[in-house]
């Protein structure tokens, strides 16, 4: 089952089951997927069962919702500060070569060695046996829920950014229950948008390069993630494709197991705060920047995978400079 969040014609937040590529089935009395998940936890049932219990007879046109910019990210929180967006890198079997290509110029050999060392650590210890703890991955923080843009919306790139390029990734979505236990709701396709020029200057700038907007959705895939996922990442300029490449994900194509990535994120008490929502990106091996592409204001990113239904498309929008002032009282 796949779910979407959207606004109805009156502007009210709503949830629907994706019946097919053209049809949505709105859920009665459900305003958010997080709310539906809380109800499922209270009733001791699954998210799929809870969604089916709220199905109505109405059907609406999926294209009509999408074309009027009424789709929302597949997870939201009423207080964005309690929606944490994070991710991992160097987790895919081709990610080391992509990172090496990105860092091949104007960088020190030590930086490449650190990246390759991290990658090899994942190959050797990223998929531990049951009951064992594997090696921890590269980890980064992107921001809170305010950085997540809706499907079809512009992705803002700050005026001080040196680049703003796509990263086609799968993100897992979690809700922390009342006992502080992470509950995985499902998975969504996403664009983990980053500043690769800044990162390339010095690997210690990775933290800065990740503090950017990102996109998710529109569809939340419930249940288990297939072990092999295929997709396509494209960049459009003036309506024409200027770059296109296939990408793969899922555990068959990763150096870390999903369970290992989850453990090393949620081992921190900070990330098990009851009521919080998490979106955690699992990394990629496919970057247009690694192929020498420089994006421009107005370029459009499209990331698609049949596993996740409707593609996600977002346009790059460079922001005006924002003055920064610090007051003293």
Q: How far apart are CA 301 and CA 294, in angstroms?
A: 13
Q: Of 240, 231, 245, 239, which is closest to residue 292 (Cα–Cα)? A: 245
Cβ atoms < 10 Å from Cβ of 86: 17
Q: Do 41 and 80 belong together in one domain? A: no
In this structure, what CATH number is given to the domain that contains residue 287? Answer: 3.90.850.10
Structural tokens at position 262: 């989850």
Which residues share a beta bridge with 314? 301
Q: Do 49 and 130 belong together in one domain? A: no
The residue assigned the tokens 């597949």 is 74
Supply the pLDDT for residue 105. Answer: 47
Supply the pLDDT for residue 159. Answer: 97
Q: Is residue 39 part of a domain?
A: yes
Give one DSSP letter per residue of 53-85, joined into a string: HTB-S--EEHHHHHHTT-EE-S---SSGGGEEE
The domain boundary, picked from 25, 50, 72, lies at: 72
Q: Do 26 and 170 belong together in one domain? A: no
Q: Is residue 6 part of a domain?
A: yes
Structural tokens at position 83: 């929606």
**Residues 6 or more apart in contact with residue 111 via CB below 8 angstroms:** 103, 202, 203
Q: Of 277, 214, 285, which is closest to residue 250 (Cα–Cα)? A: 285
Supply the pLDDT for residue 203. Answer: 86
Q: pLDDT tens string for the chain (329 positions)?
A: 999 999 999 999 999 999 999 999 999 999 999 999 999 999 999 999 999 999 999 999 999 999 999 999 999 999 999 999 999 988 988 665 555 555 554 554 555 567 788 888 898 999 999 889 999 999 999 999 999 999 999 999 999 999 999 999 999 999 999 999 999 999 999 999 999 999 999 889 999 999 999 999 999 999 999 999 999 999 999 999 999 999 999 999 999 999 999 999 999 999 999 999 999 999 999 999 999 999 999 999 999 999 999 999 999 999 999 999 999 99
Q: Is residue 325 part of a domain?
A: no
Supply the pLDDT for residue 117. Answer: 85
Q: Do 86 and 227 belong together in one domain? A: yes
- Burial status of residue 237 (CB atoms within 10 A of its CB: 0-12, 13-18, 19 or more): middle
pTM for the full model?
0.93
- Burial status of residue 294 (CB atoms within 10 A of its CB: 0-12, 13-18, 19 or more): exposed
Structural tokens at position 152: 């079809």
Residues in the chain: 329
The domain boundary, picked from 40, 72, 104, lies at: 72
Q: Is residue 267 part of a domain?
A: yes
User: What is the helix (H) or strand (E) element at residue 280, kind and residue range?
Assistant: strand 277-281
Taking every pair of Cα atoms in the chain, the longest distance, rounded to a whole number of angstroms, is 62
Q: Do 242 and 286 belong together in one domain? A: yes
Q: State the residue range of the domain holding 242.
A: 73-318
Q: Do 131 and 201 belong together in one domain? A: yes
Cβ atoms < 10 Å from Cβ of 46: 15
Q: Do 206 and 272 belong together in one domain? A: yes
Q: Is residue 53 part of a domain?
A: yes
Q: Do 290 and 157 belong together in one domain? A: yes
Q: Do 127 and 27 belong together in one domain? A: no
Q: Of 262, 67, 281, which is closest to residue 168 (Cα–Cα)? A: 281
Give one DSSP letter per residue of 182-209, joined into a string: EEEEEEEEEE--B-HHHHHH-GGGHHHH
Instruction: Indicate the number of domains in the chain.
Output: 2
Q: Is residue 291 part of a domain?
A: yes
Q: Do 104 and 169 belong together in one domain? A: yes
Q: Is residue 326 part of a domain?
A: no
Supply the pLDDT for residue 175. Answer: 98
Q: Do 59 and 78 belong together in one domain? A: no
Cα torsion angle, 160, 163, 164, 167, sign: negative
Q: How far apart are CA 43 and CA 23, in angstroms?
A: 28
Q: Is residue 324 part of a domain?
A: no
**Angle 25-27-31 (CA atoms, 0-180°, nearest 5)?**
130
Q: Do 119 and 235 belong together in one domain? A: yes
């Amino acid at each position: 089952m796949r779910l979407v969040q959207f606004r109805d014609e009156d502007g009210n937040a709503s949830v629907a089951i994706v019946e097919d590529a053209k049809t949505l089935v709105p859920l009665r009395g459900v305003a958010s997927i997080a709310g539906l998940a809380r109800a499922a936890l209270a009733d001791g049932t699954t998210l799929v069962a809870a969604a089916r219990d709220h199905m109505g007879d109405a059907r609406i046109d999926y294209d009509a919702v999408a074309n009027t910019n009424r789709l929302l990210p597949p997870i939201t929180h009423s207080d964005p500060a309690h929606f944490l967006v994070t991710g991992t890198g160097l987790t895919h079997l081709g990610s080391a070569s992509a990172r090496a290509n990105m860092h091949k110029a104007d960088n020190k050999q030590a930086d490449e060695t650190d990246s390759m060392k991290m990658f090899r650590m994942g190959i050797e210890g990223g998929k531990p046996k049951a009951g064992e703890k594997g090696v921890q991955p590269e980890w980064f923080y992107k921001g809170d829920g305010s950085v997540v843009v809706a499907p079809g919306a512009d992705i803002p790139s700050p005026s001080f950014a040196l680049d703003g390029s796509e990263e086609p990734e799968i993100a897992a979505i979690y809700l922390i229950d009342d006992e502080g236990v992470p509950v995985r709701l499902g998975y969504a396709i996403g664009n983990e948008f980053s500043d690769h020029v800044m990162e390339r200057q010095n690997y210690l700038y990775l933290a800065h390069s990740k503090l950017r907007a990102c996109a998710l959705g529109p569809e939340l895939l419930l249940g288990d993630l297939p072990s092999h996922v295929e997709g396509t990442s494209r960049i459009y300029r003036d309506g024409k494709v200027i770059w296109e490449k296939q990408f793969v994900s899922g555990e068959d194509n990763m150096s870390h197991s999903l369970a290992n990535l989850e453990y090393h994120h949620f081992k921190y008490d900070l990330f098990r705060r009851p009521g919080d929502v998490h979106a955690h990106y699992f990394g990629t091996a496919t970057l247009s920047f690694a192929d020498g592409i420089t994006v421009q204001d107005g370029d459009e990113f499209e990331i698609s995978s049949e596993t996740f239904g409707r593609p996600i498309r977002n346009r790059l929008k460079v922001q005006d400079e924002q003055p920064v002032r610090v007051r003293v009282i």
